Structure 1
Amino acid sequence: MKKSILAILSVVTIAFTSCTSDSPEVTPSTSFDLKVDDLKGDITNNETVTLDATQTYTLTGGLIVRSGASLIIPAGTTIKSDPTADGEKAKTIFIAVERGAKIFVNGTSAKPVVMTSGKATPTEGNWGGLIICGDAKVNTGDNGTSEVGGLLYGGNNNDDNSGKINYLKISYTGSKFSDSKEYNGVSFFGVGRGTEVSNIYTFESGDDAVEFFGGAVNATNLVLINSYDDSLDFADGYIGTISNVYISGISFGGIEGSNNGQNDIALPMTDAKLSNISIVKGTATKFTASEKAINFKEGGGKQTYTNLFVDGIDVFAKLDGGLGATARIAAGEFKVNGINFVAANNTSLFYNATTQTGAGAGANLPTWADWTK
């Protein structure tokens, strides 16, 4: 009997040892604490966090989605910045997606996702904005650091996927990070074309409305209203297509397109193709469009505009006088409405042919943007 019991125990021991050694490693649970009235912190441990569209969240600090993790924001969700945040505190309030992480802004035309100021009387610069970092190519190096947020970005995967943004209203962004840096409305750092970007509405951005730092992500249906630097900006070897853009209320450039600030012929060279664009200066005296409809800057790269309409700006482009930009223009790589740009034609006659409808309705908001009203 003792021998039988010992034999049974031995078999059980062997079976238990074999089972435990072959078991998959258990993923540790996340330490992220989702609070409606105190939204901040790091989403880690490869977890997916989903917000509740029936709640209005108060963003009180940096909300960072770390590599491997995901954040899902359902249609109709509202996120407001801390209403008490001013000065130094305002610059700590932002949403960021680390390289290797994903965000899903799943808005609809009837129920967009809203990110805005929590103040009773909101103004530009009340909070930071949305930052997305990816693994796509940039011409400033494979491991750059985002100008705000301090996150790594850039690599060699132009098909990289950082998730999806669809029907997002984002307003009163652009808090001052330092003496020389401010947040944009939405910043794309080395984001790949596997990421879906469509239907973004920005309002009262303290810096640029939307900016692409390299990468290869495509974007469509952008409505950029009242920006206090440039409205749309791309640089650092950005390669992609941007279509259906309505811009109104321009402080500096309607669009600023660059190649590289340190090396204006750096590779891969910026190659941006834009179509169906309306650039409207705006009637308020503060909107001076001091850097024109297009600021062809820091080498410029290759820029092609199709069906571009401009209203209220008599001089079309501000031109970088460096060798890189001069070479691009001479080679016919700055093309507008089927015509190679030449400095001698840098006037409204150059771009405001009656056949151009821009985003769809010339200087007026196009019907596809009715959801922003």
Structure 2
Amino acid sequence: MKKLFLSMAVVATMFAACSNDDNDVNPGDDEITFDDGVISGNIDRDAHVKAGQNYVLKGEVYVKSGATLTIDPGVRIEAEVGDDVPVAFLAIERGAKINAVGTEEEPIVFTSQAKEAGKWGGLVICGKATNGQGANAQAEVAGLNYGGDDDADNSGVLSHLIVEYSGNLINDKSEFNAVTFYAVGSGTKVDNIYINQVADDGIEFFGGTVNVENVTVIGSQDDSFDWTDGWRGTATNIYADQSKSTAYSSDSRGIEADNFEQNFAQTPVSSPTLTNVTLIGRNKAEVTSEAGMKLRRGTQGKISNVYLKDFIAGKGVDVSDNESIEYFKANPVQKVKFDNVPTKGAVDGTYTEDDTATGAGNGAELPEWASWATSFLE
């Protein structure tokens, strides 16, 4: 995460909204159903967002430990936006679950009342898996803890989900992403996620073992994919196009990957497996510290079949810091095709070229597996 801007008015609004009232929709019922179309406050028992109407997400919404939030296919949730309203976000606490299972024909859409990046928070999920910050780590989002010793922890299911216009401020040092996984375990199922126009990162992993498949990030203003603190999951079929963003940071990357900033050898070591990756840069000379993949601070990883395009001011495969350099010299990024990337790499021997590499499926073109989402974007 990187700070792109600072609005003291927004920060003040968020601090004013730090207290959460319990969700009082249908009090006394066994299941919350949000019949008035408003999702707000603390969700402290099982809840069901049913198809058939649109919903408004108001302010800070926490699904508390022990509760499961189920969202039907076709549901559309718009984050409330206004000068005098708190920034909306949805947080799934450690020990809670979200089951948001859409379909190609009826995806679940999280969007904003204002069709502009950074107008709401995003989706935050906390789990019980191991990570570099320990078993009771504190998330950047106020009041959220994450971590434990259960790498098979299950935080639910996300499938055929669109997340748009997120990335507002958390505080004066960091922003929300579109989707953030804090120590989420491998029992969680994540596939077919389409992120559109986010003011910070598309997806960020803080440790954990969650696996993701078929993930698209269009128009991230900072990094498209980011991991740190010991993430060890898999990512299969990932596609990112930063050229469509409306703003950008000077050091945005297709992938920004760390192990642990204070101790590059901290365990568990970040070591995900990535297969079939397309990353498209901004094609702007002023993005001076960009990279297709920035692999640093002790991160490891098995990465193969990569298509990199239009990273013209930085490097394609940029490996730094001794621990990561040593690892990727022994385990190079495999099968990389460069397209309009003048400086292919930072360190010789950390990648292998292959002009037949197809990346996420079709080189720079949006892959077929992501086409389901395009007709639902605004």
Once the two structures are overlaid, the 10-residue window that deviates more, 55-64 or 95-104, is 55-64
CA deviation string 1:133-158 (max 9, x = no partner): 00001011111111124311011000
- After superposition, give the CA deviation of every residue in 1:248-281 in whole Å (9 maximum; x if it has no partner): 0164010111100111100111111100111111
Letter in 2 for 1:79: I
Amino acid at match of 1:359: A
Residue in 1 aligned with 2:38? 38
Structure 2 residue corresponding to 1:106, chosen from 101, 104, 114 = 101
* Equivalence map 1:118-267=2 (5 Å): 118-119=113-114, 122-249=115-242, 251=248, 252-267=252-267
The one-letter code matched in structure 1 to 2:203 is V
Identify, as 1 or 2, the structure richer in helix: 1
Q: CA deviation at 1:62?
A: 1.5
8 Å contact kept, 2:34–2:48: no
Distance in 1 separating the partners of 2:346 and 2:121: 38
Q: CA deviation at 1:63?
A: 1.6
Structure 1 contact 281–289 (Cα < 8 Å) conserved: no
- Aligned residue in 2 for 1:324: 323
Alpha-carbon shift at residue 313 of structure 1 (Å): 2.0
Question: What residue in structure 1 maps to residue 7 of structure 2?
Answer: none
Show the counterpart of 1:336.
334
> Does 1:372 find its partner at 2:346?
no
Partner of 2:18: none
* Alpha-carbon separation, structure 2, partners of 1:318 and 1:343: 7
Q: What is the match of residue 57 of structure 1? A: 55
The letter for the 1-side match of 2:355 is T
Q: 1:293 aligns to what SS in structure 2?
A: strand
Could you list the per-position Cα deviations for residues 318-371 of structure 1 after superposition, in whole angstroms to 9, with x for gaps in the alignment? 3333x33333234x14433299x871368xxx6663210011100000111111
Cα separation, 2, equivalents of 1:153 and 1:198: 22
For residue 37 of structure 1, report the CA deviation from its aligned partner: 4.3
Partner of 1:355: 356
Report % sequence identity: 35
Q: Distance in 2 between matches of 1:151 and 1:236?
A: 17
The DSSP-based 3-state class of the residue aligned with 1:368 is helix
In structure 2, distance between residues paired with 1:51 and 1:176: 26
1:129-186, Cα deviation, whole Å (9 max, x unpaired): 0000000010111111111243110110000000000000001000011121100000
Q: Which has the larger radius of gyration?
A: 1
Contact 2:161 2:192 in 1 (8 A): yes
After superposition, the Cα gap between the structure-2 partners of 1:319 and 1:342, relative to the gap in structure 1 and judged at 3 Å, is closer
TM-score scaled by length of structure 1: 0.83
**Contact 1:36–1:58 under 8 Å retained in 2:** no
CA contact (8 A) 1:222 1:245 kept: yes
**How far apart are the structure 2 equivalents of 1:352 and 1:248?**
21
The aligned length equals: 331
Normalising by the residue count of structure 2, what TM-score does the alignment of the two structures yield? Answer: 0.82
Distance in structure 2 (CA, Å) of the matches to 1:306 and 1:61: 41
**How big is each residue's C-alpha offset from its partner over 1:49-77, in whole Å with a ceiling of 9 and x where there is no partner?**
11121111111111211011000001000
2:332 and 2:194 mapped to 1: Cα distance?
27
CA-CA distance at 1:241 after TM superposition? 0.7
1:282 shift after superposition = 4.2
Provide the C-alpha distance between the structure 2 equivalents of 1:113 and 1:224, rounded to a whole number of angstroms. Answer: 16
Distance in 1, matches of 2:301 and 2:156, equals 26
**Aligned-pair Cα RMSD in Å:** 2.4
Instruction: Tell whether the 8 Å contact from 2:325 to 2:347 is kept in structure 1 after alignment.
Output: no
Instruction: Pick which of 125-134 and 144-153 moved more.
Output: 144-153
Shift in alpha-carbon separation, 1:368–1:32, aligned structure 2, 3 A: closer
Contact 1:67 1:99 in 2 (8 A): yes
Residue 278 of structure 1: aligned partner: 278
* Partner secondary structure for residue 253 of structure 2: coil
Query: Paired residue for 2:74?
Result: 76
The one-letter code of the counterpart of 1:49 is A
Q: How does 1:293-308 map to 2 (within 5 A)?
A: 293-299=292-298, 301-308=299-306
